[in-house]
Amino acid sequence: MAKRKFYNMMVPGDKECTIFIYGEIGECAEVKSSDIAQELIIANQKYEHVNIRINSIGGDVFTGLAIYNALKRCSKAHIYIDGVAASMASAIAMCGAPVEMSRHARLMIHSVKGGFYGTADEMESTVKEIRTLEETLCDMYARKCGMTADEFRAQYFDGEDHWLSARQALDMGFIDGIYDTDPVPENLTNEELYQTFNNRLDTKPQTILNMGLIDELRKDPQFKDCKDDAEILAKVGTLKSQAGGAAALAQENAALKRENQAFKEEKEAAFKAQKKQLLDDAEKCGRINASTRPAFEALLESDYEKGKAAIEALPATKRVIQDINRDQDGPDAWDKKQAEIREKYYNN
């Protein structure tokens, strides 16, 4: 099955086209730098206006830098932040083109994050590379909002995620204007907002609308309070998120069940070894023998405490005395005493 693309080019008229940067950024993710660059080349050649619409949680820094540089070369680009522009997606929006943000949207800025496995020298090299990338990104953000790179680093690259509303982003100079989109619920989380706008580009909600299934959804009590189609789609997105949470909980429960089963098996194995040791000790000291052992083993299986008490109540045979004498007088003491007794009482 071909991978469904979250971005594409739409041509609403002869003079204008729209490119969507919807989804995660990365060469192995939905939004690839090569794809966006190719569409920008076509758009720059054929159309007078190029709209770039962003709804992305971010992704790979190097892929994002390539997209950023491609956008800077497109003088016709006008950027719109529809839902979420987080992490590297927010840096792409700083490319110098006019950028507007939906009043419902969010902008998120934070330090570069990454990891590496290797030697100390290799890890130190990775840290240096992260520092260099942070300097580059600080310069990109600072140029847009009129701050120095050091000022920007101190305020935004402090290890925290900084979520900004459209009004905050405008006041700080990250965007040039605010525009309205189709209404969405005001209390959506960042993840729900991201999913809501992705659903508007996704073919599945469009299919639902075209097939008239939206009317069927309205009959469901869960959707009876939704005012319009946008709220229904937002509700669907919320339910999908909750289903994902339920799936995660189910996985956690399954893991706990596996751990509990392993503990039970370990406990049963230890109990089995304990019963075997009890029988071995009883047979060693002469309380039971090979012929009576199965009966006591069955008794232990049916009632361990009762079986243990029965075994311990049995008298020990002379083999115990033999073991004691062997410990005190040497390994042949008992045999010698037995020979002396036979000679004294049976030979006379």
The residues that are catalytic are: 87, 110
Amino acid identity for residue 175 in this structure: I
Residues with Cβ within 8 Å of 159's Cβ and at least 6 positions away in sequence, in order, are 110, 111
What is the Cα–Cα distance from 22 to 8, expressed in whole angstroms? 9
Closest CA to 67 of 89, 51, 98: 89
Residues with Cβ within 8 Å of 291's Cβ and at least 6 positions away in sequence, in order, are none
The per-residue DSSP string of 233-287 comes to HHHHHHHHHHHHHHHHHHHHHHHHHHHHHHHHHHHHHHHHHHHHHHHHHHHHTTS
The per-residue DSSP string of 108-146 comes to EE--------S-HHHHHHHHHHHHHHHHHHHHHHHHHHT
Percent of residues in the chain assigned helix, strand, coil, to nearest 5: 60, 15, 30
For 148-185, b/e burial (b = at least 16 CB within 10 A) is ebeebbeebbeeeebebebeebbebebbeebeebeebb
Residue 337 backbone phi and psi in degrees, to 5: -65, -40
Q: Which residue has the tokens 């966006």?
A: 36
Residue pair 21/4 in contact by the 8 Å Cβ criterion:
no
Distances (CA, A) of 197 to 83, 177, 245: 6, 19, 20
Residue pair 58/29 in contact by the 8 Å Cβ criterion:
no
